[in-house]
């Protein structure tokens, strides 16, 4: 991958089925961000984990993944989030991670339209799916290198199916697992 800027990461391990990382976004303002891998269900040999990230509220300990900080540092933030993946897989080598956007779906679109300031979204809300698009863009752009280490799949809700990942396809969720070496007994 190309040289990319990232922020320093602080690791925290609060719960047995959860792994958190923190960093400070220093764009227009200073914002503490958190990345959390949360156990969803038993799946394969290592379980399915949801990757969530967003602004971290120190008072409540909550991660707000429905805000758009507009801090002018989307790529360093996304690159920092992605840089937590190898650490997670070093601790959970057989896990599968799922990533989807909190800004996807009809409920988000209705809420967004209700508070939309510019009302220029007559053909549909322009804010829907921005987060998953950013993840897809990152994977598409770096796919040749990433596929050497990871296996990707995509979920298409219209088909209600998980399919092998292909570049430039609209997925509603992305699944990633670490490639395992072939061993012979």
For the chain, the structural domain boundaries read 10-102+128-178
pLDDT > 70? residue 141: yes
Buried b (16+ CB within 10 A) or exposed e, 114-152: eeeeeeeeeeebebbbebbebbbebbeeebeebeeebeb
Percent of the chain with pLDDT over 90: 32
pLDDT > 90? residue 147: yes
pLDDT > 80? residue 125: no
Most confident of 7-11, 90-94, 136-140: 90-94
Percent of the chain with pLDDT over 70: 78
pLDDT > 80? residue 76: yes
Residue 19, exposed/middle/buried by CB under 10 A (0-12, 13-18, 19+)?
Answer: buried
Q: In whole angstroms, give the CA distance from residue 88 to residue 36.
A: 10
pLDDT confidence of residue 134? 77
pLDDT per residue over 21-62, tens digit each?
999 988 888 988 999 999 999 988 889 999 998 888 888 888
User: Is 139 or 111 the better-scoring residue by pLDDT?
Assistant: 139
Model pTM score: 0.80
Phi and psi at 36, nearest 5°, equal -130, 130
Q: What pLDDT band is residue 6 in, cutting at 50, 70 and 90?
A: confident
The arithmetic mean of pLDDT across residues 95-116, rounded, is 67
């Amino acid at each position: 991958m190309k040289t990319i800027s990232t922020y320093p990461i602080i690791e925290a391990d609060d719960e047995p089925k959860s792994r958190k990382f923190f960093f400070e976004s220093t764009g227009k303002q200073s914002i503490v961000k958190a990345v959390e891998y949360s156990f969803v269900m038993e799946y394969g040999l290592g379980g399915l984990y949801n990757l969530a990230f967003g602004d971290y509220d120190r008072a409540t300990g909550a991660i707000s993944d429905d805000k758009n900080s507009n801090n002018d540092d989307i790529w360093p933030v996304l690159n920092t989030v992605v840089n937590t993946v190898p650490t997670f897989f070093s601790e959970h080598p057989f896990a599968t991670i799922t990533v989807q956007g909190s800004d996807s779906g009809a409920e988000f679109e209705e809420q967004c339209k209700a508070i939309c300031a510019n009302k220029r979204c007559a053909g549909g809300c322009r804010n829907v799916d921005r987060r998953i698009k950013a993840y897809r863009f990152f994977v598409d752009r770096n796919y040749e290198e990433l596929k050497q280490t990871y296996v990707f799949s995509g979920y298409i809700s219209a088909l209600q199916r998980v399919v092998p990942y292909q570049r430039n396809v609209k997925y509603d969720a992305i699944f990633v697992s670490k490639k395992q070496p072939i061993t012979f007994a």
